[in-house]
Structure 1
Amino acid sequence: MEAKDVCVEIENDEFYSKFLVDTVKPLVGENISVSDQVSRLAQGIEKLSKSLEKQVLAKHNDLLTQASHISDLETTLESVQSQVQGLLRGAEKLKDRVHTPHRALEEQTTMLERVQETCNLLRHAAKMLALWNKLASIKDNPPKEAIILFELNELIGDYDFEGIVLLEEVLKEVEHRKKELLDNSTALLQSSLLNGEKEKLLQCFKVFHNLQCTNEQIRNSVDSILNDLKKEIGNALNVQMVSIEVKKSSSGRVAPGKANIMNAQDFKNKLWDNIDKLFRVEMYNNCTKVIMLQNVVNELHAIGNFRNIAKTFWSDLCTVFSSELEKSPLNVNQSVEIDFPRLLKCFNDLLSKLKCKDLEINRSSLTKWENSFLSKSLGKLLEPVRSMWHLSQVPNMDQIDNAVRIIAEALSISLGDKQLSISLANSVAKCIKQMNVEAEQRLSLDSDVAQIIEPPTSSQQKNADLCNALYYFSSQIRRVLVNMNSMLPQESVQIVQSSLKDVTSLSVLQLFAESIKNSLFIILMTMHDEPDLTRSDDPTGKSLSCSPYMKELQQFVSRCKDIYLSMFSEKAALNECCTTIAKATVERFIQHVCNVQPLSKFGRIKLQIDCKHLETALAPLVSDMSELGDQSRQLKALSLLLEKSPQDIVKSQSEGASLPYSLVMMFLFSYAGPQLIAPHTCAGWNIQKLMQWLDSHKKEKERLDFVAGALQRYQNHVRQNQIATYDEVYPILLQLLEDGRNTLKQEK
């Protein structure tokens, strides 16, 4: 059996395979007895031994060859080892030949470095002595002295001169002179800032620049000023000190035997006196110092870029003030919250006196008090508005005047600060909105609020009173804005004016306008029932008056104006409402006139008279008809149209008449014979249906298409019935239709 087969047999055998793993577990628990297991192991070992013997016998020549090669390899290795030993001895000798001159070169280099260092030391010492001698000869020239001291200081910092006896005294004197010069310049800086001596300040900063300590000196000076101001702010806001001062000032009026109790108003007055004095004196004086410091530094361009000294100081000062105010007792904070505009005025007045364009109030540091003030101001503004609507009663003029007075006060206290003014204007806008909401909630929406038959109902009267109250409120606020316009920021004025746009009587007036228009439309509808419009007799030489429907319309308009519309005081809204009614009436009148059929020559003269009387009928609503714009021009054009022949009408339209082509074409159907039927009649509509269609189809193209449909039907009728000639109006209508469509294309 081959060796490979023996290995495969052992690996696949269930018993032998357990001995091929790394960890062999005891086989005592197996079903095979121990003696059988030993026997089988012996058999397996014997098989492996026989397999090994066969392999050795089969390859003994190769094994002998490899054994001889091993002895040759050992001989070769011994030869290589002897050569390596010789190489190591040669390397050691080469190392000695290289290291010896290197050590000598290193020692010489060290000596050269020491010599060079000594030379530099001597050279620096000589330069220092020369500078020292030069310094001794300088008198009363601190900037030049500072230059020399700075150079000496740089030389001293380059090397360690300790142990050089010759320089010990010089080193001490240099340090002393530098400290003395710096102290003197610092003292001169403080005195110059205090006295406002600009020339001396310039000299100080030249010294600082030459000593390379400008930044440090500026920072120390500004910090010192800021610390002094912090103490002054703390003292001004110190409630105990304020109380003591109030008690001292009021000691003379304390009743005998009674405790000296500080009056709240006295405390408030004294506190604000302290704050006013703080800004007017201490803060102004110290800010002036910093600004002068900034100006001097700006003049000395060579000393570096220090453009934000004053700006940074002011920002820090606002933060310090806010911090000190935050730490103050509750009554101090409450006083500041209530009179926050006064605090802003102190800031703004200070900035105005300082006249430094880079400075502005750090609003973020005052946010807490500003928000609290705005919150209380909004509550103060809303309170009279809410109280005046108690028990759903319409507010009287005194209540409205009180609310307006509070609004005027709110706007006036912010005059010194634009941002606060805008914030308060927003609060006023909320107050106005609240007033409008309160009124709208009380407006009656009953079914009778728009009736125009009986005398005004209680609901109508209440709605009018509410509108009038709102109008009085808005007009008074507008008067306040006019009086304060030159003082208030335009942004604030615009905010309040925008909020007033929603305060109007127009919504209630529109209810009346719709009812009045509908009634007027019904009256105009009776135009088609007038017998005079179809009379065939000649009107020449006859004295004609307006039609009965026109008289009725005139009486109705006058009655509505006197009884219903006169209840409202807001002229602008009333005029807009009246103009809307008048425009709709004229427009509907023109539509009816252009669609009256049949219509005789007598009827045209009668309608021409009605056109003139319509202006009289609408006079209670519109004093000047030209205010109606297109409607006024169209009414005049209609009056002229009624006296023209169809041919003249075509000519006037081509010359740019005011009436739309569609209405002129509808009017020309009244000249046609019975075969050429009007568009609405052709559609099977009555006049009421036609008016509804015209209201919902305002575009001229749709109206032209509507008339064109009637013309097409007439053309089909002529062809079907083989009528020899067209109606004489038909070509005129076709010409107008074409002209109208061309005009629409040009307008596009």
Structure 2
Amino acid sequence: MSKKVFKTCRQRFIKFVTTAVHRSLYYHESLSFETVPITDSIKSMGQFLEKPKVEKHNSRGKNDDIRYGLGSMQGWRVDMEDAHATILTLDDNNWSRWSYFGVFDGHAGYRTAVKAAEKLHLQILSSLNTLVADNANEAVPSQVISSQLDFSKFETAIKDAYFKFDHEWREENRNNNQDDKSGSTAISCLIDAERVYFLNVGDSRAILVSSEGRVLLATKDHKPSDQVERQRIQDAGGTVLIQRVNGSLAVSRALGDFEYKNNSNRRPDQQLVSPEPEVTCHSRNLAMDSDKQEEQIAFIVLACDGIWDVMTNEELAAYILGRMHVTDDLNEICNSVLDMCLYKGSKDNMSLIIIAFKTAPVPTPEWKEKDETLNTEIKNKTIEIFNRNPNRTSLDANTIWQQVVTFLNEQSSIREALPIGGESFNDFIDDDFDIKSFSANILQTKLVADYLQHLNELIRTLDAEIKQQVSSNAPVLFRQASSIGTIEDVLENMQSRIGSLKLTVDRISSKVTEPYNKILVRKFQLTRLQNTCDLLRRIKGVLQQTKKLQTFMSPSNTGQQQIELVKASQCLSELDHFTVDTDFTGIDIVEKDLQFVFKARHDIQTQAQDVLENGLNHLNPAQIGTALQVFFNLGTLHDRIQSIEQRLLQNFQTQISEYLDLKQLSRSKDPSNPGRTTMPNIGNTSQFRALLWTNIDKILDLLYVTIAQLYNLSRVLAKKKDPITHATFTDELTKQGHSSDLVGQFWIGAMKSLRKQMKISMSDSYHLRQALEGEYPRLLRLQNDLIARLNQLQPGFSEIEMDLIDKDSLDSEQSQEKQKANLQLNECFEIFEKSYLSILSSRLSDPINLVFSSSSTTKLLPTQQELESFVKLIVNELTVSIVSEALVNKVARNIGKAIQLFAAKCEQSICTDSEGSQVVSAPTAAQLRNISAINILFNFCSMINKMLAEQQNLPLTATTRIADALQCVHSLMNTAIHPFLNSIADCIEAILATMHTEDFSQPAGTQSDSQSSLYMKELQEFIIRIQKDYFTEFQCKDFMYENLAPIACRAIVLFMEHISLVRPLGEGGILRLVVDFAQIEFALSPFCRRLTDLGKYYKILKAFRSLLILTTEEFQNNSAIGDVVPYDIVLHHLFSRAPIEMRSPHQAMNWSINRYIQWLDEHPNMSDRLAMIKGTLETYVQTVRNRQQKEFAPIYVIILNILDKGLASTA
């Protein structure tokens, strides 16, 4: 029996046993989930249900080509986060032959999965339409098929659709102010008549299965443990901990999960979690493979990881294929898969879609009969197991498994369905079978007697099988035995022929040997002759080139020296061709010449090095070119350029180390004791700092000179060319692995060394660090001067992007990221910027804290002199930092913080309780202190604004930051004055409300007609007292007028509302109100510079005064009504002129006047006010009708007409 047969036995047996155990657990109703061991582990995890939800959601559908079934179940999870999409016809137009299916496994919520199920296919459809339209020569075909689409373009279109969906979903969450952290995997497929496209994001999976049960294709799970995925996560700045992204997310690709997609500098497919789909295509036709002409595609399975966690691809494919032989109900198959996975221990939501093609297996009566028989036997055995165990709660899945397996092995009907031997022979046919270890395992785990009996049974089975094979193949065996004699005759004939052939070969060999030896001797002679000729040719060349070299090396005038140097190097280059790989030992004729050549080479290299050094020092391109040509001819150009770079960089490192050495900076010569040095003198700070800044200037000068030398060297290398290949020297260096950017290479090394030395020097010397931190703007100015000089040398040098140096490790390799040259220089000195800004913050805050530190109540607020000193300090700091826009913006931010601190200190002196807001008596001490604080804050704001106006070179960002900080000062001023102003407004309102206690019903002609009312006199006296006692103390007139103007406007509005409600109103009362109008203008004059500054409120006041002296009939066509004076004010006044039975709105509502005024404040909309008046008129009309009066009051018509105009204007 072959090994392949035994493996087939094993696979079929596993399939039968798995199906049997599943059905045994499924059939018996007494087996609850509490008896399954997996339940205890599930309960202990805390995030699962006490019992799984086994209700299933199913759907099915079909068309002329395919049919599908869907099943999903919540299982042990608290929430159902899976979603799905099943679309048999993707589009009625271009894509009518395409179908779309998808399973979406959500995590951290269901919203992303549901959104993908609803919208993702629409985004895919849009991208495909764009793809077809962009590639169609004429009209778009009515039906698109796979052969019309280029796969690379199709793949790009699919990826664009996923990226757009992810982006739009993120924007939708932002627009709705939703911080949705959910994500979802997505496994989907597109099917047309020719191909199947699989689109995969995450760890859900799809398999394509043939009619023979072979898994033709399986998608790849996107896990952080995958090397490619791990590299992308690390490149995006993340880590992979416990096989999760940042130790949290178990998938490396997903839709949603926007908290992992916040790097705006990287593409969507480069984020920590990528939405990029993996697109796979598979043809639906397998007939092209000659070995598989009878095998066809049967079905597709799309499933979430809740299925794949407990079943392999092959197990699921075999199970579904087997069930298709029994039933054509795909929903039933889906449900049985869900139940099996639940019993096998799946703890997640479970969803799967089965898509069957026409080539899928169909049920047959034979399979159904076998299945029913197996079901009956397993069901009976399960019932028997439970009946044998009274305590059924002690049963678990393992117990049932062992007993059902034993039962299946005993059933002859099942054993007959399997090949002979089956599972029992697997241990003995494995390649790595070891009899010793197998025997030891048997002795430890099983009874030897029982197992020996089992082995004897197996041996008898094999004997029976061998006998059966021999008996069934007896004729064939007999025919093979009869042919043995014929084979012997053939072998004897072949042996004799082989002997004859051997003798023939020996004779030929003896005839060939002698000529071969002669040819070999002639070959040796020819080889030696050729070697002699070559050596003579080389000797001749050496002699000729040496003679030329002696001519070029002879003394000549100075102007000709460089030209002879180049020619001499060319001779040496020619000599190299003659001497390479040749040994001239023992040849006297060339011995002296070779010694001369050796000495000449050394002299030429020395002279060329001197010429190169002189050319670099004087920036002479001609000398540099001559030296480089010599080195090129000698073949040492690459080594020489590399040594120059190393020497310049090492020299720079040595110089900066000496210039920043504390001992060198502190050492001074004593004139009376030459050669004697002294130790650092802390008190000699000025001399120390002067020498320090001189050395820093030297460092930057050295950096400039070195860059200039390398720049000229690079230009010459780019111009000089090989006379044979015409390639530039730069190209030749690049071929040998040398960088073509000499300046960039040196700059990176210099910046690395400078930064390292700065850190060392700062850690060694407190005084050095203190000097550079305190005068950081000066250091920044020197740096800017260097950048300006380098830009003059090489235009745009500061904007050149060079390799970024790793900040964490100065010795690390260069990364692929780039950074501008000026920013790299900034980073060398940025360690001083933070300290400088910290010192600046202290310099700005110390004066403020000092001013407010006194415990004396008279020293709570700063004086004018202290304010000026503080503003002068701010001006000085801005002036010093103007050398850099970035620095001045940061300084401005610190100034803003100091201004906020100043405001916070002043706030402690401000009183906002009743003591600070009273207006009934003279100003209290708290109010005087508030007034002083407001004056000081106002002066401070004025001085800062004046300073900003004078600073012409200040950047807009810095100005804006300081101006924004002043807003807190303005807010504090408003906080200090508003309680006081609110009290004034309340008093004015209370005084105006007293007008209704006076009698305005007198007829005209009385003495009081020309006198102002009592309430007006009280109002005037109040405002005059407030002005005298309070307003004169304020120095900030503009600020006061700005805050008093709203009070004046409010007073005018209240004045007109109360006057319009005065009732009863006689002719004399009207004349007295006209006088009140004039008096209120005088009363409100302290609240603004001119009453005309109040705008429309002053116009309303003037216009309403002129309306008072009109007759009632003249109101109807007056143009000021509505345009200037509000409709409600005019209508209220007309009610005052109406008969007593026509009640005013507040009378109709039984409200007091104060309550009605409050209602007007709460309803500023004119339509609401006119609606109230309209209701009042309707009440009056109803009253007239109830009284059965025949006509309305004459003023009713006028009021009604004006009301209609008002309602029409607000419609």
* TM superposition shift of 1:160: 4.7
Residue 248 of structure 1 corresponds to which residue in structure 2? 670
CA contact (8 A) 2:1139 2:1193 kept: yes
Q: Which residue of 2 aligns with 1:579?
A: 1045
Matches within 5 A, 1:344-743: 344-352=780-788, 356=792, 358-359=797-798, 360=822, 362-390=825-853, 391=855, 393=857, 394-397=860-863, 398-483=865-950, 485-504=951-970, 505-532=973-1000, 534-537=1001-1004, 544-644=1010-1110, 649=1115, 651-653=1117-1119, 657-743=1123-1209
Question: Hey, what's the Cα distance between the residues in 1 that align with 2:756 and 2:830?
Answer: 14
Distance 1:153 1:419 in 2: 61
Secondary structure at the aligned position of 1:569 is classed as coil
Residue in 2 that maps onto 1:284: 701
CA distance in structure 2 between the aligned counterparts of 1:508 and 1:689, rounded to whole angstroms: 30
SS, match of residue 667 in structure 2: helix
Cα drift, residue 506 of structure 1: 1.5
Which of 66, 69, 72 is the matching residue for 2:482?
A: 72
1:573 to partner: Cα distance: 3.0
Hey, what does 2:21 align to over in structure 1? Answer: none
CA distance in 2, matches of 1:214, 1:149: 16
Distance change (3 Å), C-alpha of 1:425 and 1:152: farther
Measure, in 1, the Cα distance between the counterparts of 2:609 and 2:1122. Answer: 90
Distance 1:511 1:65, change over 3 A: closer
Mean Cα deviation higher: 473-482 or 271-280: 473-482
CA contact (8 A) 1:680 1:690 kept: yes
Taking the aligned partners of 1:333 and 1:204, their CA distance within structure 2 comes to: 44
Shift of 1:570: 3.3
Indicate if the aligned counterparts of 2:659 and 2:699 stay in contact, CA closer than 8 A: no
CA 1:219–1:70: 2 relative to 1, 3 Å: closer
How many matched pairs? Answer: 678
Q: Distance in 1 between matches of 2:497 and 2:1187?
A: 138
Q: Partner letter of residue 564 of structure 1?
A: Y
**What is residue 239 of structure 1 aligned with on the other side?**
662
Tell me, yes or no, if the aligned pair for 2:1122 and 2:1206 is still in contact at 8 Å.
Answer: no
Partner of 1:230: 653
Write the deviation string for residues 42-95 of structure 1: whole angstroms up to 9, x where unpaired.
xxxxxx9xxx9xxx9xxxx99999997685364465467568869989999999
Deviations 1:133-179 (A, max 9, x none): 9999997448976996898699799x855679899999999998777
Amino acid of the residue matched to residue 982 of structure 2? E
State the 1:710 CA deviation.
2.0
Equivalent of residue 682 in structure 2, options 244, 250, 264: 264
Deviation at 1:598, TM superposition (A): 3.1
Contact 2:652–2:750 (8 Å) recurs in 1? no
Contact 1:161 1:167 in 2 (8 A): no
In 1, Cα distance between the equivalents of 2:671 and 2:935?
Answer: 53
CA deviation after TM superposition for structure 1 residue 212, in Å: 8.8
**Alpha-carbon distance in 2 for matches of 1:662, 1:172:** 121
Letter in 2 for 1:453: V
- SS of the aligned residue for 1:536 comes to coil
Per the TM alignment, residue 557 of structure 1 is displaced from its structure 2 partner at its CA by: 1.7
Equivalent-residue separation in structure 1 for 2:1209 and 2:501 (angstroms): 115
Provide TM-score, normalisation by structure 1.
0.74
**1:447 CA displacement:** 2.5
- Asked if 1:23 is matched to 2:452, the reply is yes
Residues 63, 134 of structure 1: CA spacing in aligned structure 2 closer, same or farther, 3 A cutoff? closer
Q: Which amino acid letter does the alignment assign opposite residue 563 of structure 1?
A: D
* Cα distance in 2 for residues equivalent to 1:131 and 1:655: 118
Task: Name the SS for the 2:968 alignment partner.
Answer: coil
Deviations 1:257-310 (A, max 9, x none): xx98865342x2222222332244453254044236426745875555649548
Measure, in 1, the Cα distance between the counterparts of 2:672 and 2:1069: 96
TM-score normalized by the length of structure 2: 0.48
Whichever residue aligns with residue 689 of structure 2, its letter is W
Shift of 1:477: 3.6
Distance in 1 (alpha carbons) for counterparts of 2:985 and 2:1148: 28
Structure 1 SS opposite 2:1146: helix
Give the drift of 1:437: 1.5
RMSD of aligned Cα (Å): 5.2
Moved more, 141-150 or 587-596: 141-150
Q: 1:85 to 1:535 in 2, by over 3 A?
A: farther
- Which of 326, 330, 333 aligns to 2:762? It is 326
SS state at 1:725 partner: coil
Amino acid at match of 1:689: R
What amino acid is the match of 1:23?
A: L
Equivalent residue letter for 1:665: L
State the Cα deviation string for residues 301-341 of structure 1 (Å, max 9, x = none). Answer: 55556495486477446425524533542322233233333
Deviation larger for 668-677 or 268-277: 668-677
Whole-angstrom CA distance in 2 between matches of 1:438 and 1:480:
22
CA drift at 1:383: 2.1
Which amino acid in 1 is paired with 2:1130? V
User: Could you say if the C-alpha distance between residues 290 and 725 of structure 1 is closer, same or farther in structure 2, counting changes exceeding 3 Å?
Assistant: same
Structure 1 residues 104-143: Cα deviation after superposition (integer angstroms, max 9, x where no partner): 9xx99xx9xx99x99xx99x98999999999999974489
In the superposition, relative to structure 1, how do residues 346 and 697 fare at CA in structure 2: closer, same or farther (>3 Å)?
same
Q: Is the 8 A contact 1:536 1:601 kept in 2?
A: yes
What is the rounded CA distance, in whole Å, between the counterparts of 1:660 and 1:91 in structure 2?
A: 134
CA distance, structure 2, for counterparts of residue 196 and residue 68 of structure 1? 102
Q: Name the residue aligned to 2:774.
A: 338
Greater CA drift, 135-144 or 577-586? 135-144
Contact 2:790 2:797 (8 Å CA) reproduced: no
Which whole-Å deviations, capped at 9, do the CAs of 1:18-60 have from their partners, x for residues lacking one? 99844379xxxxxxxxxxxxxxxxxxxxxx9xxx9xxx9xxxx
Opposite residue 1082 of structure 2, the aligned amino acid is T
How far off its partner does 1:654 sit? 8.1
Q: Which has the higher strand share?
A: 2
CA shift in 2, pair 1:378/1:69, >3 Å: same
The residue type paired with residue 988 of structure 2 is L
Residues 66, 220 of structure 1: CA spacing in aligned structure 2 closer, same or farther, 3 A cutoff?
closer
Give the Cα separation in 2 of the matches to 1:93 and 1:740: 137
How many angstroms apart in 2 are the aligned matches of 1:435 and 1:186? 67
Which one-letter code corresponds to 2:670 in the other structure? K
- How far residue 450 of structure 1 moved from its aligned partner, in angstroms, is 0.4
1:197 to 620, 625, 633: 620
Q: Distance in 2 between matches of 1:660 and 1:440?
A: 42
Secondary structure of residue in 2 paired with 1:501: helix
Q: Which has the larger radius of gyration?
A: 1
Please say if residues 374 and 424 of structure 1, whose CA atoms lie closer than 8 Å, have aligned partners that are also in contact: yes
Instruction: Give per-residue Cα distances to partners, 1:672-730, cap 9 Å, x unaligned.
Output: 33343322222221210111112222223322322232233334444555544344444
Structure 1 counterpart of 2:682, which letter? A
Aligned mates of 1:545, 1:65 — CA distance in 2: 149
Output the amino acid matched with 1:341.
P
- Structure 1, unaligned stretches of length 5 or more? 5-17, 26-47, 253-258
Hey, what does 2:183 align to over in structure 1?
none
Distance 1:629 1:232, change over 3 A: farther
Residues 441-462 of structure 1 show CA distances to partners (whole Å, capped at 9, x for unaligned) of 3322433210001111122222
Deviation digits for residues 477-514 of structure 1 (CA, Å, limit 9, x no counterpart): 4444444x124333223222211221132211111110
- CA distance 1:720–1:21, change in 2 (3 Å): same
